[in-house]
Amino acid sequence: MRAWTVVRIVAWLHATGVTLAPSATTGSRGAIVEGCAGGNSTGNETVTPPRHDGPMRILHTSDWHLGRSFGDHRLLEQQALFIDWLVDLVRHEEIDLVAIAGDLYDRSVPPADAVELFHSSLSRLLAAGADVAAIAGNHDSAERLGSIDGLLASGLLLRGGYKRAADVDIRTYADGPLAIVAVPYLDPVFAPTDTSLDPGDRPSHETVLRRTLTTARDRITPGVRSLAIAHAFVTGAEPSESERTLAVGDAGMVSSTVFNGFDYTALGHLHRAQIVGGDERVRYSGAPLAYSFGEKSQKEVVLIELDADADARSKPIPIDVGRSVATVRGTLDELLAADGNNHDWVRVELTNTHPVADAHRRLRDHFPHLVEIARIGARPNNRERLTVQAVRERSVQELAGEFLTNVSSHDDASDLALLQNALSRAENHQS
């Protein structure tokens, strides 16, 4: 039975009030051991069969945004190509764990084909031999994802909401245990009541995230290597044009110090791949595809080797699927005379000073992946702003003639004469 089908069945059983014991959902990938290493941890310990010699390998990705569109182009086909590439990489590199740091979907209620792609992605990654740990981002429904957490196969950790945000999951690999702290996006609006605050006040995202991570760290047995997965806007990191703001001003930003004490932190939310604060152990993988024209940098995932002594070595792996973005500029005639771009997402900066008839259709025929057209050459309006009285003092012919001159792609006296003649005939007919 396909794994995504199992996911659906289990979710349905859960929704109807049927609870499955962990042993009922454990497959051949490993056995669930009740309790956790160190006694202070919460959750389950999972033993994973060895895949290779040497340090364990973690693959860090985030911000898939399944179901997203770019302009009026749906991206699901491009996203499916990325999943194909990712599964092949997991097999080739013998990845032990795939960490997905939030924004699995583009919206809280995703379209059915996006859900289908996500479920099949989980199935294929598990079949490729890797565990998967994923969290809800600010675009996801934390309740929807978190409702089936703990009811799935032992190789899958799917976390959303506050309920289990501070839990520690211990997974034992060939070279020893790993403590996973998978913290979904914690919206301060829904934070549990904080008695230290005045009534009506809400904590910041940093407050709730720091408190959650501190609780989790205290549950990890000293000497056990650790991985944090989080979805946040870290101060000093560089955003792109396509992220949704977490909060007004700086209220949604967090300090990188909240991640102190973890051997590697896999971050999501910002779509630009980057290291935070010069520390290679805290980084964003970025989105796997370009979602705005500001995302011209190479897209990547991050491969982390984390040895038994908690020494983390990370390296980016370029993603070689998906379309890049390109901006072209010129008049309509210049653009149509040049070679068309058949691969990239294209933004056209049109320099014509007058409107051009049927420009959108003609440009789309030339650029099949056209996303937007910007009129940067529009003729400036240097005419004085007219008061209501000044407008009333002008004739209908004068106002219509000015309008025609303003919107026409050419100055043609015959068109103006024709318009004025028609208006005169209309006035004579009314009188």
- Note the residue count of the chain: 431
C-alpha 223, offset from chain centre: 34
Contact 67, 107 (CB under 8 A): yes
Residue located via tokens 């890797």: 130
The closest of 80, 33, 36, 85 to 59, measured between CA atoms, is 85
CA distance 206 to 210: 6
In CATH terms, the fold of domain 3-318 is Purple Acid Phosphatase; chain A, domain 2 (3.60.21)
Q: Is 22 helix (H, G, I), strand (E, B) or coil?
A: helix
pLDDT computed for residue 245 by the predictor: 61
Q: What is the pLDDT of residue 412?
A: 52
Mean pLDDT computed over every residue of the chain: 81
pLDDT digits (tens, 9 = 90+) for 384-430: 555 556 656 667 766 776 666 555 544 455 666 677 677 777 766 66
**What pLDDT score was predicted for residue 392?**
62
pLDDT (0 to 100) of residue 132: 95
Nearest to 291 by CA among 134, 25, 62: 62
3-state helix, strand and coil shares in percent for the chain, rounded to the nearest 5: 30, 25, 45
d(C-alpha 320, C-alpha 315), whole Å: 16
Give the number of other Cβ atoms within 10 Å of residue 257's Cβ: 13
- The band of 264, judged by pLDDT with boundaries at 50, 70 and 90, is very high
pLDDT on residue 199: 53
290 vs 191, more confident: 290
Q: Dump pLDDT digits (tens) for 27-80.
A: 335 433 333 334 344 556 677 777 777 899 999 999 999 999 999 999 999 999
pTM of the model: 0.77
> pLDDT tens, 85-117?
999 999 999 999 999 999 999 999 999 999 999
Helices (H) and strands (E) in the chain, counts: 10, 21
Residue with tokens 């999501």: 268
Residue ranges per structural domain of the chain: 3-318, 325-375, 388-430
